[in-house]
Structure formats: structure tokens, C-alpha cells
Amino acid sequence: MFPMKTTRLDGLRAKAEETRARLLEAIPARYSPWAHLAATTGVGVGALTVGLWGIKGVAAAELLVIPVTVVVANGVEWWAHKHLLHRRTWPFEVLYDRHTPEHHAVYWEEAMAVTNYRELKLVLMPALGVLGAAAAMVPMSAVFGAVFTANTGWLFLTTAACYLVSYELLHTVYHLPEDHPLGRNPVLRWLSKHHARHHDPKQMRSKNFNVTLPLFDWLLGTMAGDRSEDEEGQSEGSLASEAAAS
């Protein structure tokens, strides 16, 4: 029984490595993971800077928009991950194509870490996607500003931009090498484990959709429990099926 399990895992690792090598080979030589990270986080930092510039003399009541924005953003994150990243939906097919058959084919629960920093191409969001998300914040910010106060609109933009940057940075941390210093932080380690459970193919379409704070996973009952040995065997079979289909 044990040798069969080992052989199966070896086959899964070989399939993941084959996919990794194919995707890495397709990355242009000029690609810089650090420029990519700077571009995606830079868009969010830019929106954050604009928002901070617009805030003037905040009243205490206006600060209530901050937790409201965090909760809304967390819900949007949960919904988009479940319905766009794991279902091929027009006109967002590219999101699914980059995520499920590529990202999830390379990184699975027992092997989450990048082996080469050029692999951040497979982890980070496309810069244009982040720019689109930032652009979507602007009309919402204008609505908050028109319905409530100007400061409310700017605070919405600032908070949403912070959330966007935190998503990108946290997701990057979850895929760093296991011996990275950030992995020693107990909070980041717990969040990394939460995200790793989502990378179990048996769970990826039904559990742990939140990447930042698992608020909506908790509210909507999509938090995955600790993995049992029995479930582990089922997960490996699931991963084999996913690998064969990709």
C-alpha cells in the first residue's frame, strides 16, 4: 500500500514539474519578476497615494467606510475566486486559463513554493488586471463621495487600494520558499496553510477562496478543515485526475 502511494505521489510531482518546465520556457527572457511585482503593487500604491492626497480633516463617522470597504472587498475576492478563477466565464476566460490549468497544475498543497523567482510570473496577477481592478475603484469612490462626503469617497479608494496591494503581497508570500524568513511569522504561516488547503484539487472548487482574510470563507461555510490521512488519499487521486485533464 505504501509503495503504491509513493509511486502515485512521484507521478504527480513529475507531472507538476513537466508543467512548470513548459510554462517557464514560455516566459520571455526579458521578464523580471521584481519589475512585475513592482508594477502590480505600484498600481495599488498609486491609487493609495491619490486617495491619501484627497483626504482632508476626517470626521470620526467617515472612518466607518474603512471596515465596510474591507468587508465588501473580501466578499468580492471570494466571489471572483470561486466564479471567475475556477470557472471559465466569458469574457474573463484568461483569468481561468492562467489560474486553474496553470497555477494549480504547478502548485499543490504539498508543493506550494516557487523553485525559481521567475515563477512569480505564475503567481502574480497580470499588471493590466491590477490596473483594471484599480480603475474599477474610481467610479465606486465617486459614488461614495457623492452619496456621503468627499472624504468618504477618498477613504474608500485608499482602503480598496490597500486591500489590493495586500492581496498581491500575501499571495506572493504563500508561494515563497519554505525557509524564507516571512514563513516564521505565525499569522502568515496560518494564512499560508489556509491557502495551501485550497490547492488540494479535491478542495479547490469548493473551499478556501479567500486569499487575504478568510472572512467570507467562514461566513459562507467554505472553510476547509484540517487534512486527515483518509482525505489525503482521496486528494492524491483527485490531483491525478486534474493532472491528466490538463
Is residue 244 predicted with pLDDT exceeding 60?
no
Q: Which single residue is written with the C-alpha cell 466565464?
A: 89
Q: Rounded to two decimals, what is the model's pTM?
A: 0.86
User: Shortest CA distance to 214 belongs to which of 230, 232, 192, 231?
Assistant: 192
Residue 8: band (very low, low, confident or very high) from pLDDT cuts 50, 70, 90:
low
Segment 128-151, tens digit of pLDDT? 888 888 888 999 999 999 999 999
Q: How many CB atoms lie within 10 A of CB 77?
A: 20
- Cα–Cα distance for residue pair 172/10, rounded to 1 Å: 26
Interacting residues of 118 by C-beta distance below 8 A, sequence separation 6+: 24, 27, 31, 33
Name the 3-class secondary structure at 111: strand
Name the 3-class secondary structure at 190: helix
